[in-house]
Structure 1
Amino acid sequence: MVVVVVVVKFSVVVLLLLMCAPWCAYSLVVPYRLQVGMTLVKNSTAKALGAYCLDGSLPGYHFSKGFGSGARNWLLQFEGGGWCNDVESCLARANTRRGSTNLMTKVETFNGILSNNESFNPDFYNWNRVKLRYCDGASFAGDSTFDNGTSFMYFRGQKIWQAMLLDLLPKGLARAEKALLSGCSAGGLAVFLHCDNFSKFLPRNATVKCLSDAGFFLDVKDVAMHETIRTLYHDVVTLQGVEQNLDQNCTSSLIDPKLCFFPQHNLGFIKNPMFILNSAYDMWQFHNILVPSLADPRKEWKYCKYNISACTESQMKILQDFRLAMLEDSYSFYKHSTSGGMFINSCFAHCQSEQQETWLAADSPIVHNKTIAKVVGNWYFERNETKLIDDPYPCNSSCHNTIPPAGYIITQENILGLQRKL
């Protein structure tokens, strides 16, 4: 009877793996994932700075204490989640988990670069690891308020960032020896905006570096030749008072200082070592910057968005040109930065450091036979080659676990759903 039970259980696991692979195979194999509760910023700190989420709730973060050789090393990760660029979208955001810690999950799973398992995160597993929750809508960079007499909102991303650091300093951050500031998507953009500022809170002799994952948003026109993303960012910067917090060397060098919200324009002014982790065909940028819905009224890109193999020759040419634009805009960094690192693969993906499948697993994406985790570790600890750029699609067969299975419809709702699972 016992043997029968074991066989049945084994069969069920195999069946589940077959049904959901490659998306959930990893979660069925790994027996334990670290769950970390939320800590709210001290009310006194938030009040002194005016550091509040859109709805006025206290900012929050998740902190897993380091141990052993990593006890004095710190990894801070900005959460992502888009932006709000007008009063209507910000009011709507304030009533969601993207604008209020009251509505956020109070426990987060630490995977990928946040994992405490040495096998899955060999270089950072025993560091102090912190996930900074996102509740402002301007990549932790705004500093203003909105009050029309009936509605009030806090646009205080910059103050939230400062309040979180002040909250963490007495917990050991003030004695940090090594530190890495990371983030994904809108959080990856926040890394570009705050990389140098981070150093000002740490000891002078601390080694401080920064990693942006899927945050290299391009200042390019969409397929209808509209400046969709430039308009969006301009509105975000204007509404939330971001310009005053942008790099002054960058803003003084451009006719339109608001463009310094784009990584390609402020990258050259960042002094701390930076690592750019991005897909050359970033899925979010493909769907929302290159081919937003308003730029495709006749739905000519519909099937290409659902299934890359369904793209026409002319559509693939546009995608390849988009890849080249990313490489051109980061060329100076690639060529001249002696302290920088890069991992630009050809997977249709968005955010690859937070989920274990893409950070480090048996079938993770590779470039030149190296995983993302390996290259990032090599870069931080100055061990080996750290600037890797993949060949154009469809060269990389290791991308299979970042492309949805046949029949999976890629919509904005599904993309956000996937981000929530990461």
Structure 2
Amino acid sequence: MLRAAELVAGVIEGGNLTDAFERMLEAHRDWPESTRGAVRDLAWTTLRDFGRGDAVLDRLLHSPPPTLVQALLLVAVQRLSQRPAQAHTAVDQAVQAVATAMPGLKGMVNGVLRNALRQQSEWAGWIGASRVSAHAYPAWWIERIRASLPEQWEAVLAVGNQRPPMALRVNLRRCTLEAARAELAAAGIEAKRLGDATLLLAQPVAVARLPGYAEGRVSVQDAGAQQAARLLAPRDGERVLDACAAPGGKTAHLLESADVELLALELEPQRAQRIGANLERLGLRAEIRVADCCDLRSWWDGRPFDRILADVPCSASGVVRRHPDIKWLRRDEDIAGFAKQQRRIVDALWQTLAPGGTMLYVTCSVFEQENAAQIARFLDRHADAECVPIHAASDCQLLPDAEHDGFYFARLRKQA
């Protein structure tokens, strides 16, 4: 419980959850998979419940405690709500944890949590009294979703509070979908077919348990993310650019789809290394360069690309259940900043696209300002651009559900 609280405290103080968890695993290499999974699950679940733990603790605390103790109380409240039958064990674990970190506050934590247990029947009313705690999102986030999706906003918010699904992409160069599914079944892993190369697991499992993963027959990739390579649809012999490529899942999918000459760009050196590792496992090759895709002089040789994947930085609002720290870290004004960055990227990349070529604009966002509104402004600026329909519509807003995350796709063709 203390380790999970340390992760939550780091987010409260403005840190990135994934980075902090990776550092923690590096420092505790001896942890078994069960411990790693338990710490991760407890921290991620606590952070998904944005505002709910605070709604309970606000009724019980007279003054704000130190950040680590606040985080520990949030973790404990989450555990109490999820596993009421283990309530006294959870309280004891929290008290032991604070005794290790801040022994002087042991009595306070014990008193607050036992008082919380006595009043647990009141929690639903406390949480429901505010739209923030009721929906477990910041108020600005709720308003953006309501404005963009007036008929679906509650469902989208609810899905974002659930555990994400786990999907696999089958490398059809090395294995058939049915053969991969049979391997999973033999290992006791149930999966259903979602497409020609996509399997959805009934329950998430550790990557180490996946038969064929180390050999490059399958990769972990959300079913929605797998749409990118299919929509860009590269052909043998074409020159393809993956402009914001790390960690390399979409890069690999493009290379599995066709024999192309592919350049993968990534701004951060460490993330660029992950692209190479992914491609090596799959037996694929691409040119990988560390560069700012907007600075054409630093990487472009003047030869145009037939197809460009512009998977641009965004709010990640469509994958919030995988990255719940963004509820705590994002601010309303950040969205305009992302939109400005996206505009710079697509305007720069458009210069490198060959006449008749295709650029696929992708975000993992459900905010309109980053998606349809961004593309509308792009078309106003570029008279030589036209939208190529996706499923009989001008674009595609894929909303998160039980099978996939939330993504936006717009396919743009440069007129010859």
TM-score between both structures, scaled by the size of structure 2: 0.30
From the CA coordinates, give the structure whose radius of gyration is larger: 2
